C-alpha cells in the first residue's frame, strides 16, 4: 500500500514473539493444582491477590486457535487448550453463577466485580470454546463445556428482548459500572454468540439478534477515556458481524465509529507517557484499524501514518522482561502485568505485520480475540 511508513519493523516481530512465549508459559496459565487450566488476569510481583479470569480464559482459547490457524499449532498448544476448556467446564458445572474474577486466595470481597456475573464474559468463553474445538486434545470436551456455559447464559435470557448484561450475585453489589448495564459494548457479546462458527442455540440466537439490532446503529457522542474500551467493543462486534454477514453497512459504520473515537481521543492516545492510555485499548484500535484499512473502509490519510505510530506506542507497553503491561503511572513507569492485553497485542502486531506487507484480509476478523 502506498504511503505506509515503516516504524521499527524488525522490533515488532520480536515483540510479538516475546509476548507469545510469555503467554504460552506457565506464568499466564495455571498448569497444576485445583485451578489448573485457568488463565490469570493481571498481576504484579507485589500483588497479594492474583486472580483467575474466566473471560480471559475464553480469550486464551481463541488466541490458541488463532495461533494454530497461523500455522503455529503444536502438541503444547493442544495441551494448553485442553486445560483451559477443562477449567471453564469445571467452573460452569459447579451449578451457581460464577463471579467475573476468581481470586486465588478465595477472598472476593474487595473487588466489586465479584458481585456480578456478566453475559459478556460467558459469551467470550463460548466463543473461545467454539473456535478452539479443533485444537483440543479431546474435541468432545467442547460439547460438554459449551453445554455448561449455555446453562449459565440461559439465565441472562429474558422472556423477550435483548440479553441481560449482568446478574448481581449479592443483594447490594459495591459498584455499578458500564459493564453491569446494558450498552453498545454488548454488540461484541452478540456477535460472539452469533458468528463463532458454531450453530447458536435458538434460546440464545433470538436475544443475541435483538441485542445486535438494538445497538448496530449506535454512534459515540461523548468521549471519555475510561469508556474507550467499552466503545471499542462496539466497533469489534460490528466488525465481526459485518464480515460474517458480508454487511457493508455494518463495516462502514464500524469504520466511521472507530475514526470518530480515534480523532476524539487523539490528544492523549498517541502520547507515550499518557496516564489515560491502556494497552488493551491501543491493541483494539490497531486490530480494527488494520482490518478496516486493508479492506478500504478507512482512508489513506491519516490511517497509513496512524497505524505505524500506534504499533510503536503499543510496543512501548511490552517491558524488557518480555511481558505486557496494562498502563503507565504518572512517572511513566509500566504497571500491572496484564494477560488479556498481551493476547490482544499479539494479534494486533500479527495483523499489523500482514497489513504492512499488504496481505491482510478483513476475513481475519473471524479470529478476533
**What percent of the chain stands above pLDDT 70?**
92
302 pLDDT above the threshold of 80? yes
Provide the 8-state DSSP code for 107.
-
Is residue 59 within 8 A of residue 340, CB to CB? The reply is yes
Domains in the chain: boundaries: 35-204, 216-369
Distances in Å between the alpha carbon of 154 and those of 89, 147, 149, 164, 318?
16, 10, 9, 10, 39
Q: How far apart are CA 253 and CA 261, in angstroms?
A: 12
Q: 204-218 burial by CB neighbour count: b if 16+ within 10 A, else e?
A: bebbbebbbebbbeb
Is residue 347 within 8 A of residue 66, CB to CB? The reply is yes
pLDDT band at 274 (very low <50, low <70, confident <90, very high): confident
Angle at 171 between CA 167 and CA 177, to 5 degrees: 50
Cell of 263: 480523532
Q: How far apart are CA 219 and CA 259, in angstroms?
A: 11
Q: How far apart are CA 258 and CA 302, in angstroms?
A: 13
pLDDT for residue 66 = 98
Q: How far apart are CA 311 and CA 9, in angstroms?
A: 10
pLDDT for residue 4 = 44
182 pLDDT above the threshold of 90? yes
Tens of pLDDT, residues 104-128: 766 655 666 677 899 999 999 999 9
Q: How far apart are CA 362 and CA 291, in angstroms?
A: 5
Q: Which of 260, 259, 286 is nearest to 341 (CA)?
A: 286
Tens of pLDDT, residues 72-102: 989 999 999 999 999 999 999 977 777 777 7
Q: How far apart are CA 144 and CA 207, in angstroms?
A: 22
Distances in Å between the alpha carbon of 353 and those of 12, 20, 346?
8, 15, 11
**What percent of the chain stands above pLDDT 90?**
75
Provide the 8-state DSSP code for 98.
P
Q: Which of 309, 290, 271, 267 is nearest to 353 (CA)?
A: 290
Give me the helix-helix angle, 279-294 and 248-264, nearest 10°.
Answer: 140
1 pLDDT above the threshold of 80? no
Q: 331-344 burial by CB neighbour count: b if 16+ within 10 A, else e?
A: eeebebbbbbbbbb
Amino acid at each position: 500500500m502506498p504511503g505506509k511508513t515503516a516504524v521499527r519493523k524488525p522490533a515488532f516481530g520480536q515483540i510479538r514473539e516475546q509476548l507469545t512465549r510469555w503467554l504460552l508459559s506457565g506464568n499466564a496459565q495455571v498448569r497444576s493444582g485445583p485451578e489448573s487450566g485457568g488463565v490469570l488476569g493481571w498481576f504484579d510481583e507485589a500483588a497479594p491477590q492474583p486472580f483467575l479470569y474466566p473471560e480471559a480464559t475464553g480469550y486464551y482459547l481463541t488466541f490458541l486457535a488463532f495461533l494454530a490457524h497461523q500455522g503455529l499449532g503444536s502438541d503444547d498448544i493442544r495441551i494448553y487448550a485442553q486445560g483451559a476448556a477443562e477449567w471453564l467446564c469445571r467452573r460452569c458445572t459447579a451449578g451457581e453463577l460464577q463471579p467475573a474474577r476468581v481470586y486465588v486466595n478465595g477472598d472476593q470481597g474487595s473487588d466489586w466485580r465479584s458481585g456480578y456475573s456478566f453475559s459478556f464474559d460467558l459469551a467470550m468463553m463460548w466463543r473461545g470454546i467454539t473456535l478452539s474445538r479443533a485444537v483440543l486434545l479431546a474435541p468432545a470436551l467442547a460439547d460438554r463445556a459449551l453445554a455448561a456455559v449455555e446453562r449459565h447464559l440461559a439465565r441472562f435470557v429474558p422472556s423477550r428482548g435483548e440479553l441481560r448484561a449482568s446478574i448481581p450475585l449479592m443483594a447490594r453489589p459495591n459498584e455499578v459500572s458500564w459493564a453491569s448495564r446494558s450498552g453498545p459494548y454488548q454488540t461484541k457479546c452478540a456477535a460472539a454468540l452469533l458468528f463463532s462458527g458454531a450453530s447458536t442455540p435458538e434460546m440464545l440466537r433470538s436475544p443475541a439478534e435483538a441485542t445486535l439490532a438494538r445497538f448496530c446503529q449506535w454512534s459515540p457522542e461523548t468521549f471519555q477515556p475510561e469508556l474507550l474500551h467499552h466503545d471499542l467493543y462496539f466497533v469489534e462486534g460490528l466488525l465481526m458481524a459485518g464480515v460474517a454477514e458480508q454487511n457493508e453497512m455494518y463495516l462502514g459504520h464500524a469504520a466511521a465509529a472507530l475514526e470518530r473515537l480515534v480523532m476524539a481521543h487523539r490528544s492523549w492516545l498517541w502520547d507515550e507517557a499518557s496516564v489515560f492510555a491502556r494497552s488493551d485499548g491501543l491493541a483494539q484500535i490497531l486490530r480494527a484499524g488494520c482490518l478496516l484499512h486493508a479492506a478500504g473502509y478507512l482512508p489513506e490519510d491519516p490511517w497509513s501514518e496512524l497505524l505505524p505510530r500506534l504499533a510503536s506506542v503499543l510496543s512501548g507497553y511490552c517491558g524488557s522482561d518480555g511481558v505486557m503491561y496494562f498502563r503507565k503511572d504518572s512517572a511513566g513507569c509500566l504497571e500491572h502485568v496484564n494477560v488479556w492485553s498481551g493476547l490482544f497485542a499479539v494479534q494486533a502486531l500479527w495483523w499489523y505485520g500482514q497489513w504492512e506487507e499488504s496481505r491482510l484480509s478483513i476475513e481475519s476478523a473471524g479470529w478476533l480475540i
